[in-house]
Chains A and B, each alone.
Chain A
Amino acid sequence: MNGEPSYYTMESYWFGDVEGQACEPAPGDPGLLAERIELLAGRGDTRSPDWRIAVRCGAVRDRAEYLERLRDAALILAERNLGQILQADHSGLIQMVRMLDQLDEVINLLTERAVEWHRATRPGFSRKRTLPAGRSLIALIRQDADDALAGLLDGIERLRDQRSLLMEQVSRRAEEVLPNCSALAGALVAARLAAEAGGIRELAVMPAPSLQVLGAKTALFSHLSTGTPPPKHGIIYQHGRVHGARREKRGRVARTLSAKLAIAARIDYFRKSADREFLLNAAEAVRKAGRRE
């Protein structure tokens, strides 16, 4: 300002800007400091701070105040970033899928136990008889169950209702969050893939062959450690084109589908909207892969 030649370049620290002997302390509010740190982090060329400069600068009185300021700002910054990540990750969806899978396990386990109990008390309830599945099985036992068992069966029934409800919610959320994957593989499969991958971002950065064997952990590690044949498919087996394909074609369909899903997951995460043209081509490629020659 006073005509002095500027030998010094400005150094920015979280506590202020230093230019030679001159220094401009940053506003002391922790929220603003957090923003400043974020900004400096984004520049990527900042030097490590030195508390003595901060004192000389007049930004803080002593070492204790230096640490206190920094810690308050860092706490706010971490909390803010955490909130953003949790939101961007849609970790809610992941938790819903896990709850859904766990509900399935619990319902099956409880139903099995109820059947065993019923058999133990009714000699006429034959083991040979083919039992219906799901709700009709519960209804069948309910007819002549004693009170204790009947109460439990009602409980299982309620769990089944909640499960259906949750499944709808998962599908709806998945269609919002993973529009392309959902269109290609079905909302439930898409949601399961994301849950197994550990998040939407994790799914988006996953190579197609990893995605192909997501959910086939046991087979994959048995392949890696003892050389059994590698798994052809994991969760994507649930897709109609995969499990509906002839045995010898399944690997091919799974490969094509996972390649397209990997692209779909990237579009979902980075562009966040459905791409009609891509979807049409992808569906066609998957269909072709399963065709007989």
Chain B
Amino acid sequence: MIWIDGHLVSEGPGGVYGERMLRGCRVWDPKRSKLAALYHLGTDLELGPDHRVLYLGAANGTTVSHVADYVEVVYAVEIAPRPMQDLLVIAGSRKNIIPILANARRPEIYRPVVEEVDLLYQDVASPRQVSILFGNSCFLKEGGTAVLMLKPRSIDVTRPPEDVFREVQTEIEDGGLRILDRVRLSPYYPDHIAFLCRRDEAGRPRPRSEP
């Protein structure tokens, strides 16, 4: 990842959403992007120039545009028409964003275009965030990473976030993904938590998850 004076940046044509520029690089604001917040809080996750990414919940393409600066290609799935209009403008001015107007709960709709990916990134507001993750983990190559930006309030507003976190953690592990790390996104995003998971290679004994 590229840092300039404590600011996370990405290299690409600026002026996508009025972001600040720093020595010709686009500043990636942790207050506007959960992934940037994750990097500011510290993570091992790396984005490489040969990475293929499936991005669920692409929204207006703010985060997508930065991810696209780092990786080879982003398959950006978004269901809401309004944000999709913005995303299309961004995809039109870049070569490596493939916009997909579809519901992340129905991966069969975009299976014909999405290849095997190195990173599955999910930031959707749905009560079924975990089942969406598993519905899409078939796109993840063995040894690939999944990042789940969990919004406990979308799962159940009335329950304490802690309960939801614990339950989701069990569900992920039972589903066959290994949790590498969990990072709370406060103070940038209170109540949000990022789960970093790995799809282990088949046939290998699954190492025990870290607590």
User: Is the C-beta of B187 less than 8 angstroms from some C-beta in chain A?
Assistant: no
Report chain B residues within 8 Å CB of A78. 84, 88, 91, 99-101
CB distance from B38 to the nearest CB of A (A): 27
In the complex, A79 Cα to B138 Cα: how many Å? 27
Give per-residue flags for A24-45: 1 if the beta carbon is below 8 A from chain B beta carbons, else 0: 0000000000000100110011
User: Is the C-beta of A248 less than 8 angstroms from some C-beta in chain B?
Assistant: no
| Residue pair A68, B84 in contact (C-beta under 8 Å) | no
In the complex, A81 Cα to B87 Cα: how many Å? 14
CB distance from A254 to the nearest CB of B (A): 24
6 contacts between A and B (CB under 8 A): A37-B112, A49-B112, A49-B115, A71-B98, A77-B101, A78-B91
| Residue pair B96, A71 in contact (C-beta under 8 Å) | yes
Which residues in chain A, 76-93, are within 8 Å of chain B measured between CB atoms?
A: 77-79, 81-82, 85-86, 89, 91
Give per-residue flags for A168-209: 1 if the beta carbon is below 8 A from chain B beta carbons, else 0: 000000000000000000000000000000000000000000
| Residue pair A67, B96 in contact (C-beta under 8 Å) | yes
Report chain A residues within 8 Å CB of B185. none
Of B17-25, B103-111, B119-127, the one contacting chain A is B103-111
Report chain B residues within 8 Å CB of A41. 102, 108-112
Give per-residue flags for B71-99: 1 if the beta carbon is below 8 A from chain A beta carbons, else 0: 01100000001001100100110011111
User: Is the C-beta of B114 less than 8 angstroms from some C-beta in chain A?
Assistant: yes
User: Is the C-beta of A70 less than 8 angstroms from some C-beta in chain B?
Assistant: yes
Chain A, interface residues (CB within 8 Å), range: 20 to 34
| Residue pair A82, B113 in contact (C-beta under 8 Å) | no
Which residue of A has the minimal Cβ distance to B96?
Answer: A67
| Residue pair B96, A46 in contact (C-beta under 8 Å) | no
CB distance from B88 to the nearest CB of A (A): 6
Q: Which residues of A contact B (CB under 8 A)?
A: 13-14, 37, 40-41, 44-51, 67-68, 70-71, 74-75, 77-79, 81-82, 85-86, 89, 91, 224-225
In the complex, A58 Cα to B97 Cα: how many Å? 24
Q: Which residues of B contact A (CB under 8 A)?
A: 72-73, 81, 84-85, 88, 91-92, 95-102, 108-116, 138-139, 157-158
Which residue of B has the minimal Cβ distance to A199?
Answer: B81
Identify 11 new A-B residue pairs, CB closer than 8 A, beyond the known A48-B114, A71-B96, A74-B99: A45-B108, A47-B111, A49-B115, A71-B95, A71-B97, A71-B98, A74-B98, A75-B88, A78-B100, A81-B101, A225-B158
In the complex, A50 Cα to B52 Cα: how many Å? 12
Instruction: Given A44-B108, A48-B114, verify A82-B96 contact (CB < 8 Å).
Output: no
Instruction: Given A71-B95, A79-B88, verify A46-B112 contact (CB < 8 Å).
Output: yes
